[in-house]
Structure 1
């Protein structure tokens, strides 16, 4: 009798075990789609924060980081049911936003990256895929560069910041000058308060670090504090430490975060691919939900790779003189651009490039093999993700060079100035006898000076 009861009990336990396994595998169509919420106290800013989870623990972990504004984690709500079928999703209202506690604290990318690490350690325990949009993209970058082993993949969407403050706010002022309707009050705030001021009337870092000044000048407003801290951040010490494969998604018509940021990230991050969402602006998940969902799914799974670049002959010489709007692509022995406007050089490869009294934009590409890689005289140049390697990488005079994610390598010098020269570096690198390492910010050079 005792044996029979034991057998029955074993069968009952086994039956309940089967029912539990069955429920875990089949019922989660409803359960996994539900968002589990909790308010907890976090240790970085010392306040209450809203944490949200969806999907089954044990699935691949996925962390979603939102951008500026009190929409907060609502940014991801339309995507959560589908994501929860495959991933263990963890998202949150960043401290200072949404339903999380708002305080007069330093809401900087560095502090937010520390907060994300606490979330990962507390609610996941392993290396997740990390996704960030806008400000969240900047936080994801800082997290990936600070803790390069603590994620498996990085997905960046319309990343804010990264460019030098003077460059970013100048672009924002251009948008405002065109009477374009900017979808964030904070971006208008940046354009009006900070934009275009190379020498601010007060020390922004001093203001950010001081509780009283943050309260007096910014009203202790987390959104304003986070926006100012973002444009003050220098990402160059972290960008080049990132190891995780990276996917970059960008709205085709985003006027809040310039697409050149995506170009420079693609050129400098591991296995990076930039994918444009047609017809979308700064919120592609809302503006083109179907296109975004498809691209996002591929980004999470790593289903697309950089396209192979066709090999072309490099013996041709390219020239532009007295015209505007010309486009150069492919391989060249040399390129000469004289008295031209709005020239676009896309992923070019050349031994040397010369600009005289011209304006031009480089997106990607490489200049190497000549004695001087790039010459610029009386010209305005914008370069994103360009690599230049030569005995003298750049020789310029009377010019303004805006260099974002650019790598300059010169056996004699990275830059030689033949006259007054203004250089705006954003998350770039130089290597020369005069110094090597990352460089970010404004450099003004007089004739005869070298970098």
Structure 2
């Protein structure tokens, strides 16, 4: 019967997809028809046997029924029950809470450690809903009172890092401190796919000859351009997105896909820029899943945050570097919040101009009045303070930099610019440009002046004080 219903739904969707309002109305009908009718009552923790789930025998484990969506949640905890509580939130993959096995022995000496198999993962069955970070954040809020009536510390890994950010935003009274480990899903989808598919090109000419570096950067940029064009095609999940229940029912048997697609849809700009809790950030430098660039943008924009990098670690440092992660967590949770140091802007009269012509692999640091790059490839601006940047026929990367001109701060013509965790006071003028901004603060409410057609990939950035930018756009002859 269900298959017949969804076959009919598919035919109807295909027949009417051209009508903009139909999908919204149809989604509402689906949600109304299939919405749960049960009345939520207070659930009780039911003791489970840890050994049956291949967990240490001294751990306590439980089942908890979540009535709203009719699913059961598997949980475990270790440590003294009267100790301060920390909640560990895992990422994608069917290990679930077992991802934390290697670091719990140290943590349980000092804390009551709560772990959860999020619905759809490991022991917790998958409900017929969209497994979004927002849903999981609401679930953590539901679970938390069973273990503490005081604010707790929450540690999220990978997708669990994104869930933790959303949880802290929606229920700030629940949380005392936050720690993020290789948080995934923060970058806008196009930026994430480009970075994952092409990786980073080294920009040090001491290790890569200029001719080879020029070729490699050009090849990478060509690949990025192809990916950008591919991701401009219609999104195959857009039909399901009109109804969360249709989404969840269709993808119930594929929780990893369900959660991954849901993660890629959410914008965490407000959760990052409005966060006031202390945030400790840990990253593996060799992470191929959640690019270290994400850690940089988080550290640049989260209040009282600090980024620690384990040089030889990948995406799951708990498994490869358990001792280092345990020590980092214990130190971070007991540390006093640190204030963020502000960049000191030098008087423009003391700064020099810089020009690059037909060069490869340059790295700039320090303060400048005006930086002009003409046909320069693989240029890195790291921690630069400048009034103005002009890029013509160039490929450059910028991180943790500040452009202070109140008029036009950046002029980008026939160039590719990737910028992370930086600040721009003036306008950004684009002319046949491609930009990829992540965690960038733009002082002006309408910061972009687009002349000839340009591509803007914007991840968790902000224009003015309240306008968040998280999208993939192609614009021309306009302001934005």
Category of TM-score, reference length = shorter chain: 0.7 to 0.9
**Shift of residue 81, structure 1, vs aligned partner:** 1.8
Moved more, 80-89 or 314-323: 314-323
- 1:175-228 CA-to-partner distances (Å, cap 9, x unmatched) read 69xxxxxxxxxxxxxxxx999422335343634735445555x46311110010
The 8 Å contact of residues 363 and 383 in structure 1, kept in 2 or not, is answered as yes
**Shift of residue 306, structure 1, vs aligned partner:** 7.0
Secondary structure of 2:175 counterpart: coil
Determine the C-alpha separation between the residues in 1 that align with 2:244 and 2:229. 22
Match of 1:359 in 2: 395
The yes-or-no answer on 1:83 pairing with 2:107 is: yes
Match of 2:155 in 1: 131
Determine the C-alpha separation between the residues in 2 that align with 1:298 and 1:350. 36
**Shift of residue 342, structure 1, vs aligned partner:** 1.4
Q: 1:145 to 1:304 in 2, by over 3 A?
A: closer
The 8 Å contact of residues 208 and 225 in structure 1, kept in 2 or not, is answered as no
Match of 1:446 in 2: 476
**Shift of residue 90, structure 1, vs aligned partner:** 1.0
- 1:290-349 CA-to-partner distances (Å, cap 9, x unmatched) read 332332322222368478678685512233221222111222222222211111111211
The yes-or-no answer on 1:118 pairing with 2:142 is: yes
Determine the C-alpha separation between the residues in 2 that align with 1:143 and 1:332. 41
Moved more, 362-371 or 130-139: 362-371
Q: 1:265 to 1:310 in 2, by over 3 A?
A: closer
Determine the C-alpha separation between the residues in 2 that align with 1:125 and 1:205. 41
Determine the C-alpha separation between the residues in 2 that align with 1:254 and 1:201. 27
* Partner of residue 380 from structure 2, selected from 323, 344, 350: 344
The 8 Å contact of residues 350 and 366 in structure 1, kept in 2 or not, is answered as yes
The 8 Å contact of residues 107 and 326 in structure 2, kept in 1 or not, is answered as no
- 1:265-293 CA-to-partner distances (Å, cap 9, x unmatched) read 11110111111111000011112223323
Match of 1:403 in 2: 437
Determine the C-alpha separation between the residues in 1 that align with 2:359 and 2:296. 26
Q: 1:214 to 1:403 in 2, by over 3 A?
A: same
Moved more, 127-136 or 336-345: 336-345
The total of aligned residue pairs comes to: 396
Match of 1:324 in 2: 360
RMSD (Å), alpha carbons: 2.6
The yes-or-no answer on 1:373 pairing with 2:373 is: no
Q: 1:428 to 1:201 in 2, by over 3 A?
A: closer
Bigger relative contact order (CA 8 A; separation at least 6): 2
Q: 1:84 to 1:195 in 2, by over 3 A?
A: farther
Moved more, 288-297 or 220-229: 288-297
Match of 1:437 in 2: 467
Determine the C-alpha separation between the residues in 1 that align with 2:165 and 2:286. 22
The yes-or-no answer on 1:68 pairing with 2:102 is: no
Q: Which has the larger radius of gyration?
A: 1
Determine the C-alpha separation between the residues in 2 that align with 1:438 and 1:263. 18
**Shift of residue 363, structure 1, vs aligned partner:** 1.3
Q: 1:65 to 1:315 in 2, by over 3 A?
A: same
Consecutive unaligned residues in structure 1, runs of 5 or more: 1-31, 177-192
**Shift of residue 49, structure 1, vs aligned partner:** 0.9
The 8 Å contact of residues 33 and 82 in structure 1, kept in 2 or not, is answered as no
The yes-or-no answer on 1:92 pairing with 2:92 is: no
Match of 1:296 in 2: 329
Match of 2:28 in 1: none
* Partner of residue 383 from structure 1, selected from 413, 416, 419: 419
Secondary structure of 1:300 counterpart: helix
TM-score (norm 1): 0.81
The yes-or-no answer on 1:202 pairing with 2:250 is: no
Determine the C-alpha separation between the residues in 2 that align with 1:205 and 1:298. 46
